[in-house]
Structure 1
């Protein structure tokens, strides 16, 4: 479980930073979170495998968070995608895409499985045997949601070196499920504790896009292993942050401290800042385990 930052900038573009986007790598699958203008070029630059993209999550409908989406959707079609793509985002996003596809006369060879988010109530929007994806409300100038991506508990690890070579295959599944096994032929009992080990604890990524400082979100992201939180400004522009419904670096760090997360990544920097060292210093004074979002950098989601 690794997070690659693709874009670190906010609404006004500058040469040094791309608009918001991040990719969560789950091994043989990946999740794109937000898709600002030029995201597909960032994916190419950092050698992201388009074929592994299974989910796209859009936090809100400000352009720096989704203007790259139709281009990426079209590229996936042009490169031969036939597998459905799960798209989770605000009400109205499906209408925007439909109009764009209609008037460009683009016909997709794959299905867009669109699921609308609820900007006022937390809810689980996707779940399978590996992960769950939940949303929670953020306070911004337009409806906006954060995302929590949580691994499901893994099966127990088999200590194969302790088992006989002819150990029946159906018994492996039982051991993984935490059961003791009795071999009906030999009568031998295989105690689960002797032949398995605990799996790695499931990990959680919390993604807090554009939002005013809001301690209410702590209840939804408590004890996350890695949290991304916007920090558009530093403390000298706290009033500006309040007016525009954004956060400062210190405020993002305070949310991380209150939530007891393991590590904080701050990003979405205003274009007025050319140097970012003071963002890191400000945040670390409140929450020491803070790092800056850097485009192309990969952040491992730490185990608990």
Structure 2
């Protein structure tokens, strides 16, 4: 299975331009393609990134400011025009369902597929999705309106069989493999106990990704994102504009780096840049004064966990 990856579709705030695209990204993890936010122009960016539309089932919308969801109705319409039949599940604050329903009502569109809406309203960390491979949590953020970040965590995998050692023990049959993968010792016919660690290798490391945009500087999120492998944290402004960040419910690159350092994350990705700063490397330079492993995210670039 491919290593988990994050493809940035857009990483700027507010007004789209020829070069700047509002927030949207695709997280590939354990065979799933998760769309996180869907700013204007997302479907065009998906095509440029060569991401197949029919692989997107789960869509996560952080909050109801337009630069985070104005591309969604267009994308849902394209799904319909392409003859999609698979359901889509949208995790978003209360209100988005009404917006979508009104649009399709007055455009007289009856979709060929179903949309399942999971409405978010909790002010605490909450598990919002779970399957056999992944669990996803909403992270309460501090913005001008109700907003969530998202934490994606792999579930532990089974141990890997050490076939070279297993072949030495003739009592072990194929039907025993499941128990051995689950970490159980093996008992031979003559009563000997073969420790599991002799028959298996450790499973792959559990990986995690946290998305935090938009938010004021808030130490309260640290406990929720501790030790994640990759953190995307908004950095709308540089520290010269810290007062503007406070007034608008955003963060600076410097503040994002403080969060990453205190949470002891493996890597920090910056994003949601204000268009008043055309040189995104300035964000990276500012953050590196605090946290060493940081990168300014760029559209259509893929980052691996």
- Report if TM-score (shorter chain) is over 0.5: yes
CA contact (8 A) 1:11 1:64 kept: yes
* Aligned match of 1:21: 24
Q: Is the CA contact 1:60–1:142 (under 8 Å) kept in the aligned structure 2?
A: yes
Which residue number corresponds to residue 248 of structure 1? 252
Match of 1:288 in 2: 292
Equivalent in the alignment of 2:137: 134
CA drift of 1:118 comes to 2.3
2:126 counterpart residue number: 123
1:170 aligned to which of 171, 175, 183: 175
Q: Is 2:84 aligned against 1:81? A: yes
Cα RMSD of the aligned pairs, angstroms, is: 1.7
Aligned-residue offset at 1:182 = 3.6
**1:199 corresponds to 2:203:** yes
Is the counterpart of residue 32 in structure 1 residue 49 in structure 2?
no
Aligned mates of 2:19, 2:194 — CA distance in 1: 59
Query: In structure 2, how many angstroms separate the alpha carbons of the residues matched to 1:118 and 1:201?
Result: 32
1:275 aligns with 2:279: yes
Is the counterpart of residue 5 in structure 1 residue 8 in structure 2? yes
Q: Matches of 1:168 and 1:202 in 2, distance apart?
A: 29
Residues 239-263 of structure 1: CA deviation (Å, up to 9, x unaligned): 1111111111000111111111110
* Whole-Å separation in 1 of the counterparts to 2:33 and 2:229: 18
What do the CA deviations read for 1:163-222 (whole angstroms, capped 9, x no partner)?
Answer: 3398533211111111123466x8776532111111112111010011111111111111
Q: State which of 202, 222, 231 in structure 1 corresponds to 2:226.
A: 222
Distance in 1 between residues matched to 2:244 and 2:274, nearest whole Å: 11
Q: Tell me if structure 1 keeps the 8 A contact 2:16–2:40.
A: no
TM-score, normalising length from structure 1? 0.94
SS state of the match for residue 223, structure 1? coil
Q: Deviations over 1:115-141 (max 9, x none)?
A: 111252221111111111101211111
The Cα shift of 1:108 comes to: 2.0
Q: How far apart, CA to CA, are the structure 1 residues paired with 2:216 and 2:204?
A: 35
Residue number in structure 2 paired with 1:103: 106
Does the 8 Å CA contact 1:156/1:198 hold for their aligned counterparts?
yes
Runs (4+) of structure 1 moved beyond 4 Å? 186-190
Q: Which runs of 5+ in 2 are unaligned?
A: none
| Contact kept in structure 1, 2:35 and 2:60, CA below 8 Å | yes
Say whether 1:143 aligns with 2:143: no
**Mind listing any 5+ residue stretches in structure 1 that lack a counterpart?**
none
The answer to which of 252-261 and 169-178 deviates more is 169-178
Q: Distance in 2 between matches of 1:160 and 1:30?
A: 32
> Contact 1:22–1:34 at 8 Å: present in 2 too?
yes
Q: Provide the aligned length of Structure 1 versus Structure 2.
A: 300
DSSP-derived class of the 1:37 partner: coil
Corresponding residue for residue 164 of structure 2: 161
